[in-house]
Structure 1
Amino acid sequence: MEFIWKTLSYTPYLLSLLFFLIFLEQISYLKKKRHIPGPTFVLPFIGNAISLVRDPTKFWDLQSSYAKSTSGGFSANYIVGRFILFIRSTNLSHKIFSNVRPDAFHLVGHPFGKKLFGEHNLIYMFGQDHKDLRRRIAPNFTPKALSTYISIQQIIILEHLKSWVHLSSSTPMDPIPLRFLCRDMNLETSQEVIVGPYLSKESRQRFNKDYNFFNVGLMKLPIDFPGFAFRNARLAVLRLVQTLSTCAEESKSRINAGYEPVCLIDFWMQENLREIAAAKHAGDEDPPHSSSKEIGGHLFDFLFAAQDASTSSLLWAVTLLDSHPEVLARVREEVAEVWTPDSDTSITTDQLREMRYTEAVAREVVRFRAPATMVPHIAGENFQLTEDYTIPKGTIVFPSVFESSFQGFVEPDRFDPDRFMEERQEDRVYKKNFLAFGAGAHQCVGQRYAINHLVLFIALFTSLIDFKRHRTDGCDDIAYVPTICPKDDCKVFLSTRCRRFPSLS
């Protein structure tokens, strides 16, 4: 009883201390914010994290409105103890992308990425170390490697399209949502392309379960305690990296035995083993980034990059083709001139290159609905952003790829694939505004693979399937999941439009 009374006697002091800390936090926020548009008052400790998690679309739309309210092109906010800066201006976004270095900005990919992905990650690297790793990754995306992936991609896309049509025909009165179907197709494609034969059926089931944990955790508060989604995601990443490290070991053994590469890890390990052999011959240590554990971590980076962003683009491709029938007709006409389902052959790399308008459609989809709308960076030091504003050290900075896509281009609010055709070349004229694959030293190394995947999907989907969107009010509004997709998950009715599906396997 005496203890309780003593505790109660301290209550006024504890409350005073709490209010004092809240006051200091508010003063710190306003000091960093200065004259920048953004909320004047923020909730203590958590800031506006709840509104971000509850409705990210509304949150970022508001940040964009703040940024548009002045000529500066950026706005401020506060999330879980971190001051954040949203950048709408293309020129300022380029300033961030071009200053990724230890004494300026650190690319993090997610506001709490290092906790989630781990410290050893391609996106966290700088300078020569980063250049050396990108050089070692380059063999994964040679024309020969990409041609191998194209064959794999088509087989998996075709199998899934068949199952989608069957699913739709079994419930002809109800539309089917494509988001999770596309996600599953992309996860299988990524697995086959990246680590192919090295994942057993059991490993794939565990892999898919862990990747789902990771995906859910991306959109949750960073509470790293048992039972919380963020903790589940972090532990899932560790297991996924371990699985991919084992795949790297098996690939090394297979390539050492003289087999030809059949997936991305094989192309990588082929070059990796040559470098290791050369180092041993010279009496040197193994080259950096050659251990299976490190490679497993980098493979997870590839998987993440190839998975969610691609799912977003596939969904928007279906949505935009449905709402632009003249574009759909041109795509079908072009594909039919190059490839037909009756041929029972895969679309070759050369045929894919002939589909210039279809590729223009793919690029316009990526511009119009950039899947990774923002690329988070952290200011490692104070950074002079403009003449009258210095970004404080520790600020999380969000250059908006999405906002840049609607600046500079001719009639940027119009879906217009012709802007990427040879006659107009807006991809060159307004190159600085097309930031969907990033810019600077950390520009996406697999962008050709990503475009190939989207072009293949569009070519096969439009040639083999008749589709109609189930349109409702707000169905095409943007939802963050964590990349963007139509709010209704892209609900469609599907049916077969060709005499029969081709047999590619």
Structure 2
Amino acid sequence: MRNDWGGQVLPHPTGRRPFIGDVLGTDGARPLQSTMRRAQGLGPIFELKVFGQKLVFVGGAHLAALMCDEARFAKGVAPAVDALRDYVGDALFTAYDDEPNWRLAHDLLLPAFSRSAMRRYHPVMLQTVRELFDYWPSTPEPVDVARDMTKLTLETISRAAFSRDFGSFENELPHPFVAAMVAALKAGRRKGMLGSVPGGGLLRRRIDRANAHHVTYADGLLDDLIAQRRAEGEPDERDLLGIMLGSAHPVSGQRLDDLNIRHQILTFLVAGHETTSGALSFALYHLSRHPEALARAQAETDAVLGPDPDAEPTFEQVAKFRYLRRVLDESLRLWPTVPAFPRTPREELTLPTGHRMRPGDWALVLTAMAHRDPAVWGEDADEFDPDRFLPERSHGRLPHSYKPFGTGERACIGRQFALHEAVLVLSRVLHRYDIAGDPDYTLQITERLTLMPERFTLTLRPRIPAASAASSPAAVAEADAVPDDGPPSSGGCPVAH
């Protein structure tokens, strides 16, 4: 993939070697985190050279915001994304801008995330939380947060996508389909890293052969599911699969073929559970480390839900959890679960740094760095402070400075799904339980398809909601500031497409 930037040499870490470039010093298990460490002092744009591949990164908030200008920039295609096309083809996330299936799928699926559709998903989300609460007493304490949030979000998205239950709470081992999906995605990530490595083509073919049975199993299961739903006759729109099977484009009359439907389902399964489970896990981590924030969050749940620990929020009440939403926003600012997105210019241009950039050149906007730029977020940018997202503190902030799941038309088709689910889950967990983390735990982050806290556990204790909190002036005032039918504010989503 050409990314030579016309032969320009951008700032880069010291220690570059002939032939291998900047490979030394890169942590293959945690490439993002090692890149962030090595980027210190390099400025808003820098490069790493890995054998013959130039990887350009943007970590400065102002330059990242410039690259979110849709009139001048478009979605680029980085090696890791391109490698996933072997698995999910031209689905929403991996399609090129000029591929017709992207526009077709985007337009057909927009109704799947309308307000009326979200009302249909709300009972599904409540049911999976009930199953989580039934599951926790059967597991040893402390609970593995990433494991259990992943179980929860996978069940939610699979039921919303194609009304399928994977039995995540009934079995300790994941369903074979889940194991196959994860293995295929790990293989795609490895292949993306091998594009410029000598002998990389051979290694990629070996990975394909080793992973072929996983791909065959996952593809076969979904193909059978699609065929079964088609055989049922006139499809309904109870889930994403029904919408894709039964809908035609309102203008062209085109429909998605079965292969692309399979690719879209895989994309929603992966993106819809990985990102949301990571966001929930990071939010719970930060709350467990900040007692004042936890107390405010629980006071808000008590004000909205009342004294019954088993109370479930109505669809309209989810929008009233304004502090919980700020907790999520701040958690995604510090560790966006999708930590980067590629951008390429529509025409040749000169960046404010003086570097020339042509169509075909791409840079990865590192939101995990841009979200911590002190020039935008202040000298305490590394600190957890949900009130950064209060309206009065957000007013005047640099536009496009907060992009946890991409930008522009290719960004967030499922935003409301992710936010509704995450706020709902947090409200129920914090209303029902007091949570406590291991005081000796130091945050460790695993880099799989997305970012996730590693080996983070919580001790849960049944909680009696404070009856007095229901009349707390601050909590009530904030909850009542949102009309009963008011939507959540905009933000991240499960599918950066």
Please state how far the C-alpha of 1:160 moved relative to its aligned partner.
1.9
Distance 1:54 1:466, change over 3 A: same
The 3-state SS of whatever aligns with 1:444 is coil
Q: Give 1:39-58 correspondences, 5 Å limit.
A: 39=14, 41-42=16-17, 44=19, 48=23, 51-58=26-33
Which of 20, 29, 42 aligns to 1:69? It is 42
Q: Give the structure 1 partner of residue 159 of structure 2.
A: 192
2: CA distance between counterparts of 1:104 and 1:326? 41
Q: Give 1:16-95 correspondences, 5 Å limit.
A: 32-39=7-14, 41-42=16-17, 44=19, 48=23, 51-65=26-40, 68-70=41-43, 73-79=44-50, 81-95=52-66
Distance 1:338 1:162, change over 3 A: same
The 3-state SS of whatever aligns with 2:340 is coil
Q: Give the structure 2 partner of residue 240 of structure 1.
A: 218
Which of 154, 178, 182 aligns to 1:208? It is 178
Q: Is the 8 A contact 2:11 2:42 kept in 1?
A: no
Q: Is the 8 A contact 1:217 1:232 kept in 2?
A: no
Q: Give 1:125-274 correspondences, 5 Å limit.
A: 125-126=96-97, 129=100, 130-169=102-141, 175-197=142-164, 205-220=175-190, 221-222=193-194, 225=203, 232=210, 236-237=214-215, 239-254=217-232, 256=234, 259=236, 261-272=237-248
1: CA distance between counterparts of 2:175 and 2:446? 28
- Counterpart code for 2:283: A
1:420 maps to 2:371: no
Deviations along 1:439-462, whole A, 9 cap, x unmatched? 122111111111112111211111
Q: Give 1:282-361 correspondences, 5 Å limit.
A: 287-288=254-255, 290-339=256-305, 342=308, 346-361=312-327
- Counterpart code for 2:242: D
2: CA distance between counterparts of 1:331 and 1:247? 41
Task: Percent identity, please.
Answer: 17
Q: Is the 8 A contact 1:438 1:444 kept in 2?
A: yes
Q: Give the structure 2 partner of residue 10 of structure 1.
A: none
Please state how far the C-alpha of 1:396 moved relative to its aligned partner.
5.3
Unpaired segments ≥5 residues, structure 1: 1-27, 170-174, 280-285, 500-505
- Counterpart code for 1:212: V
Please state how far the C-alpha of 1:322 moved relative to its aligned partner.
0.8
Please state how far the C-alpha of 1:431 moved relative to its aligned partner.
3.9
Q: Give the structure 2 partner of residue 17 of structure 1.
A: none
2: CA distance between counterparts of 1:38 and 1:46? 10
2: CA distance between counterparts of 1:167 and 1:326? 28
Please state how far the C-alpha of 1:99 moved relative to its aligned partner.
5.7
- RMSD over aligned CA atoms reads 3.7
Please state how far the C-alpha of 1:111 moved relative to its aligned partner.
5.2
1: CA distance between counterparts of 2:9 and 2:139? 55
Structure 2 length as normaliser, TM-score? Answer: 0.77
Please state how far the C-alpha of 1:366 moved relative to its aligned partner.
1.5
2: CA distance between counterparts of 1:197 and 1:59? 38
Distance 1:368 1:264, change over 3 A: same
> Which one is further off, 414-423 or 292-301?
414-423
| Equivalent residues, number | 446
Distance 1:235 1:451, change over 3 A: farther
Structure 1 length as normaliser, TM-score? Answer: 0.76
